[in-house]
Amino acid sequence: MLFNSYEFIFLFLPITFLIYFYLNHKKLTIASKIFLVSSSLFFYSWWNIIYLPLILSSMIINFFIGVAISKVVKSAKKANKLYVLNKKILLGIGILFNISLIGYFKYSNFFIENFNIATSSNIGLLNLTLPLAISFFTFQQVAYLVDSYRSDIEEYSFLNYSLFVTFFPQLIAGPIVHHKEMMPQFENMKNTIINHKNIALALFIFSIGLFKKVVIADTFAVFANAGFNTEIALHFFEAWATSLSYTAQLYFDFSGYTDMAIGLALMLGIKFPNNFDRPYLSISFVDFWNRWHITLSKWIRDYIYIPLGGNRKGLLFQSKNILISMGIGGLWHGASWTFVIWGLYHGIFIVLYHAMKKVKYFDFLEKTPKWIKILIIFHLISISWILFRADNISQFYEILNGIFFSEATFTVN
């Protein structure tokens, strides 16, 4: 069930809205949460009910590991070596479980294919159907475990935790929301009462997102798909049209869906963090990742880059940590080398930015007119989106060849 589908807009959403606030109006807070969790699981199951046990088992295991970590943190003395060891073991078990889960369902074919190539083996592919939203609810639950380890949160209610994971506005495509950001809002009684200003604003935001997705993104998708799906070599204008169409499609599709999620959550009294901030006006790749999929950028920074050491050991180690973080971020998007290379492509430009800050040429870049920097970064980002969308490296090369090396062709009647 998609946010822009008729069954969602005209059936699921109004029914969920009315019953949720009716139960809260009757002071049936627990019942309202149970209903919202049940509705969210129904929303998830609409696509394929066979994967309902997957998200349920994932929630149960992560919840109890998080509770165990919280109890160790609460009861043990922090100077005790056993305390530190128990925390690390529990966190390690939780992270290993989540990596194994997403690794099996999302990356098994990718690993088998590469193993077969490396060893000349012929192991059969599993060809599993990718479970809906597994990337998002896995990252969200890993963050919950790490935050429990850091003593940032304590959650002993499985109902609250289930609501945190399954809340339908953010379940499918984010934004990636932290427990400490969302769950206190459900405990605030003001948010259980219908707020007409919130609803008006929510409908406005949702409508903007719907317009972005259905009108703008889907229109550009026609031109982008035509270019990527063709079997003939693209000429200059065709290659540029394909590239720029996909650049526009991806932004309006993803930001539109995020706007709809933010609007839906606000209808139910919950405020989500902003996830996009005019990313195509960025003046560097660092600036871009502060504007594009902001919640993912923060997740990668807080749970991969900083634990790896961040920038604490000099430029060389910082560069290594950036490339590892962006490579993992690329792989998170999809099980293909094109996604890994896409992540490393962005990582290289981020590394170059930090390296140039330490040399005299950075002053020259700082004085470069802003519009020139925006234009350069926009086209470098657009090239990366070709890699992101391409089925393989060969297709990426063919389109890139059309952009830079083919001759412009004109038809004269």
Q: Cβ contacts of residue 376 below 8 Å, gap of 6+?
A: none
**Three-class SS state of 319:** helix
**Three-class SS state of 348:** helix
Q: Which of 235, 333, 354, 379 does the annotation list as catalytic?
A: 333
Q: How far apart are CA 319 and CA 339, in angstroms?
A: 19
Which amino acid, 189?
Answer: M
> Please, which contacts does 317-321 make with residues 24 or more away whose CB atoms are closer than 8 Å?
318/351, 318/354, 319/351, 319/354, 319/355
Q: How far apart are CA 183 and CA 362, in angstroms?
A: 43
Per-residue pLDDT of the chain (413 residues; tens, 9 = 90+): 789 999 999 999 999 999 999 999 999 999 999 999 999 999 999 988 999 999 999 999 999 999 999 888 777 655 566 666 788 899 999 999 999 999 999 999 999 999 999 998 889 888 888 888 899 999 999 999 999 998 888 888 999 999 999 999 999 887 999 999 999 999 898 998 999 999 999 999 999 999 999 999 999 999 999 999 987 888 888 999 999 999 999 999 999 999 999 999 999 999 999 999 999 999 999 999 999 999 999 999 999 999 999 989 889 999 999 999 999 999 999 999 999 999 999 999 999 999 888 776 666 677 788 999 999 999 999 999 999 999 999 999 999 988 887 654 434 33
Give the single-character DSSP code of 128: P
Helix and strand numbers (H, E) in the chain are 20, 0
Q: How far apart are CA 400 and CA 19, in angstroms?
A: 52
Q: C-alpha distances in angstroms, 94 versus 26, 84, 142?
A: 38, 16, 8
Work out the angle at residue 191's Cα, subtended by the Cα atoms of residues 187 and 197, and round it to the nearest 5 degrees: 165
pTM beyond 0.75, yes or no: yes
Query: Residue for token digits 């390296």?
Result: 355
Residue 333 annotated as catalytic: yes
